[in-house]
Structure 1
């Protein structure tokens, strides 16, 4: 009978231990990078807001409730972040054309410009970091991280 640990439970368990350890290191480093990127977008921007900006960049415009659901935090937290981002001139709110009772949030031209500049810096850093890797390995790593992200749910724990 095959268990959830796979064909060889000991090997799978060890692989999971390595994965947990290495993702923990990666997430700590990414958190540090996100703090720096947020400051590159705007010196007064909170690091947690960076994810909201990238979400808006990808999706175009969203309601605050959709943002909260997408990033896995409560609507009050998102509302506070959106207020701060709006005050910095990075996002704006517009009436939802499909539902006049709600608003959609979108990046301002300044928000788009500042976010693109920060992302360009991040790509430059990744290029320098990964320069010694084979392009195929970088592609495989990106694909595997994308696969991991697709399997993640906020209900995992």
Structure 2
């Protein structure tokens, strides 16, 4: 009987899954991220031909969470204010967002979606939902619920690290 190289586990233990399971999960997660980035690029282009996926993400945050300050928007996605400022300037230029004075602090501004921005992001999100519905339509509901549960669990692990 051969023993695995030091540091490698071949079977699940009380301390967690074996290395082969982790490698398989990592491979599938990498594939999912690549496909997700490609899909985000395509969905961003449905909003505007020059829209970057990062700016699309900002629109989605504003759609879901409502108006916010630039600094809060940057903190929400974990990037620097200059990067978000550049994206917001582009979104403002193409009429998807507008800045308004913050009623709480006249020195600050709140970023709002325009009516056009709301319409564009809602249509895009509906298309994303339909694409997901199409991909999961043959799955039993129990599998979809389990998939959602596992994704939530994984997301929570990421948030805690």
Partner Cα separation in structure 2 for residue 143 and residue 56 of structure 1? 25
**1:35 corresponding residue in structure 2:** 41
**2:76 corresponding residue in structure 1:** 70
Partner Cα separation in structure 2 for residue 82 and residue 6 of structure 1? 48
**1:86 corresponding residue in structure 2:** 92
SS at match of 2:139: coil
Between the two structures, name the one with larger relative contact order (CA 8 Å, sep ≥ 6). Answer: 1
Number of residue pairs the alignment of both structures matches: 150
Partner Cα separation in structure 2 for residue 86 and residue 6 of structure 1? 53
Higher gyration radius (CA): 2
Residue correspondence of structure 1 range 80-119 to structure 2 within 5 A? 80-119=86-125
**1:7 corresponding residue in structure 2:** 14
Aligned partner of 1:59 among 55, 60, 65: 65
Partner Cα separation in structure 2 for residue 143 and residue 102 of structure 1? 39
**2:5 corresponding residue in structure 1:** none
Change (3 A) 1:100 1:17: same
In the alignment, structure 1 residue 24 sits paired with structure 2 residue 42: no
Change (3 A) 1:92 1:141: same
SS at match of 2:49: coil
**2:141 corresponding residue in structure 1:** 135
Shift of 1:148: 1.9
Gaps of 5+ in 1: none
Partner Cα separation in structure 1 for residue 36 and residue 117 of structure 2? 21
Partner Cα separation in structure 1 for residue 61 and residue 155 of structure 2? 14
- RMSD over equivalenced CA pairs, Å: 1.8
SS at match of 1:152: helix
